[in-house]
């Protein structure tokens, strides 16, 4: 994703392996796979992935890597990068016909790589394997597709977002701490009661962060709308559902601190963990943030509020595994993808929530409070438009949100203007 959040990227896990297992963790850039080896020689496989530091995950990855190498007589070479370096260096490498055999792709990169033929369709592999779409969260699976073909298998996921709320602040405002708001209307009503004594009900935001579009996109789908038409050539954010979604987000101004239009999701979470706001919409990994910043906070977690007659919908982020079109070890690369996404390995080697539903259930039960809330949010989550120039589109959406939050335009006018600009981008 363009960012789960800065905090999430610090902990975002990666494919399977760290240095010391079948290859060195390098800062270099090995070329795409090797040719099929002679009998008895080890096959080589290269992967580029994200840096991560959790010792327990590292050990689990080492064990999984060793098992894979022994089973397939392989030598796996991993190169790790920080997020932005991975984004820039991998794109440059594959554009030059090089890069690793296996690519760890942010969900919003999949369409870009598929459109440029940098990765292969995996439809034929899927037909012959026991990997099934139903085993994964629906939105995460569909995020790996482009123009009705699958290009990448979901590895791990996060969702924007869930609702965090301060139970003590609820009590002080005369609200039942075990009954968080369910609907948009209830959320705004609760927020007004919680905006008191220099504190606020929540904090929205529209700073230079794509996370706000993840929230508004989710609300749009929750209200019965779609983000993109079937052809992928027309954006639908200016529908009635899209207008209502953006109006809901902007209406939070009344229960948010002044100047929230210039803030981002991390600012909003800081306000929540410092006790300045009573509710926060944030990614499901926010429990880690609370544990670090406010370990004594008495808080609850609920699904995102929904419109009357709608459902609670967030928006997926996460990473998928794809095969370099220039790889000479495509069969082995596919075996590695199958191996790294099976249920047992998913339970052990991801730090974000596993994309496999069975593994995710076990992970959440072990790692999170309110696991059922998070699982439900993942089950209904949508995904961002699968278009090659998504970053440009997200920027236009962000500008529209800023105009509405700052009172410069109505939601309808801003989204109509944005849709016109985006449709030109989609058809250029």
Which pTM was predicted? 0.89
Does domain 159-315+386-426 fall under CATH 3.30.56.10? My reply is no
d(CA 399, CA 206): 9
**Each residue's pLDDT expressed in tens, for the chain with a length of 428 residues:** 444 443 344 334 333 332 223 333 333 433 444 344 455 688 999 999 887 766 666 677 677 778 889 999 999 888 889 999 999 999 999 999 999 999 999 999 999 999 999 999 999 999 999 999 999 999 999 999 999 999 999 999 999 999 999 999 999 999 999 999 999 999 999 999 999 999 999 999 999 888 999 999 999 999 999 999 999 999 999 999 999 999 999 999 999 999 999 999 999 999 999 999 999 999 999 999 999 999 999 999 999 999 999 999 999 999 999 999 999 999 999 999 999 999 988 888 776 899 999 999 999 999 999 999 999 999 999 999 999 999 999 999 999 999 999 999 999 999 999 999 999 999 98
Contact by Cβ (8 Å): 304, 281 = yes
Whether residue 346 contacts residue 331, with contact meaning beta carbons closer than 8 Å, is answered with no
Query: Domain boundaries in the chain?
Result: 6-157+319-379, 159-315+386-426
Query: For every residue of the chain, which 3-state class applies, written as one string?
Result: CCCCCHHHHHHCCCCCCCCCCCCCCECCCCCCCCCCCCCCCCEEEEEEEECCCCHHHHHHHHHHHHHHHHHHCEEEEEEEECHHHHHHHHHHHHHCCCCCCEEEEEHHHHHHHHHCCCECCCHHHHHCCCCCHHHECHHHHHCCEECCEECCEEEEEEEEEEEEEEHHHHHHCCCCCCCCCCEHHHHHHHHHHHCCCCCECCCCCCCCCCHHHHHHHHHHHHCCCCCECCCCCCECCCCHHHHHHHHHHHHHHHHCCCCHHHCCHHHHHHHHHCCCECEEEEECCHHHHHHHHCCCCCEEEECCCECCCCCCCCEEEEEEEEEECCCCCHHHHHHHHHHHCCHHHHHHHCCCEECEHHHHHHHHHHHCCCHHHHHHHHHHCECCCCCCCHHHHHHHHHHHHHHHHCCCCCHHHHHHHHHHHHHHHHCC
CA distance 50 to 10: 9
Q: Looking at the domain 6-157+319-379, which fold is it?
A: D-Maltodextrin-Binding Protein; domain 2 (3.40.190)
User: Who contacts 209 (Cβ-Cβ below 8 Å, separation ≥6)?
Assistant: 3, 264, 265
């Amino acid at each position: 994703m363009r960012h789960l959040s800065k905090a999430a990227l610090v902990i975002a896990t990666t494919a399977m392996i760290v240095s010391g297992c079948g290859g060195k963790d390098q800062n270099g850039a090995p070329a795409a796979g090797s040719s099929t080896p002679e009998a008895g020689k080890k096959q080589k496989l290269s992967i580029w992935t994200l840096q991560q530091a959790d010792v327990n995950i590292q050990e689990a990855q080492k064990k999984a890597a060793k098992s894979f190498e022994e089973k397939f007589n392989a030598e796996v070479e991993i190169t790790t990068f920080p997020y932005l370096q991975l984004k820039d260096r991998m794109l440059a490498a594959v554009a030059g016909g090089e890069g690793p055999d296996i690519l760890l792709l942010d969900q919003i990169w999949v369409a870009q790589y598929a459109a440029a033929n940098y990765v292969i369709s995996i439809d034929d592999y899927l037909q012959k394997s026991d990997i099934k779409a139903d085993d994964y969260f629906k939105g995460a699976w569909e995020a790996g597709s482009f123009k009705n073909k699958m290009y990448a298998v979901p590895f791990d996921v996060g969702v924007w977002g869930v609702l965090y709320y301060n139970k003590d602040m609820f009590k002080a405002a005369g609200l039942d701490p075990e009954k968080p708001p369910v609907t948009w209307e209830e959320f705004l009503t609760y927020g007004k009661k919680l905006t008191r004594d220099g504190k606020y009900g929540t904090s929205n935001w529209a700073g230079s962060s794509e996370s706000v579009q993840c929230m508004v996109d989710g609300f749009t789908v929750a209200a019965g709308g779609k983000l993109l038409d079937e052809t992928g050539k027309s954006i639908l954010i200016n529908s009635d559902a899209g207008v209502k979604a953006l109006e809901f987000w902007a209406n939070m101004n009344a229960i948010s601190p002044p100047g929230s239009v210039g803030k981002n999701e991390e600012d909003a979470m800081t306000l929540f963990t410092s006790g300045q706001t009573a509710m926060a919409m944030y990614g499901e990994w926010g429990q880690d943030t609370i544990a670090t910043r406010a370990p004594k906070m008495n808080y609850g977690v609920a699904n995102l509020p929904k419109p009357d007659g709608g459902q609670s919908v967030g928006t997926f982020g996460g990473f998928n595994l794809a095969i370099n079109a220039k790889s000479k070890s495509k069969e082995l690369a596919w075996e590695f993808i199958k191996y790294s996404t099976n249920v047992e390995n998913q339970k052990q080697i991801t730090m974000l929530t596993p994309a496999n539903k069975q593994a995710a259930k076990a992970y959440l039960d072990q790692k999170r409070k309110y696991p059922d809330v998070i699982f439900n949010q993942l089950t209904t989550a949508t995904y961002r438009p699968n278009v090659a120039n998504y970053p440009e589109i997200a920027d236009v959406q962000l500008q529209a949100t800023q105009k509405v939050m700052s009172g410069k335009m109505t939601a309808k006018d801003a989204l109509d203007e944005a849709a016109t600009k985006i449709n030109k981008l989609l058809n250029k």
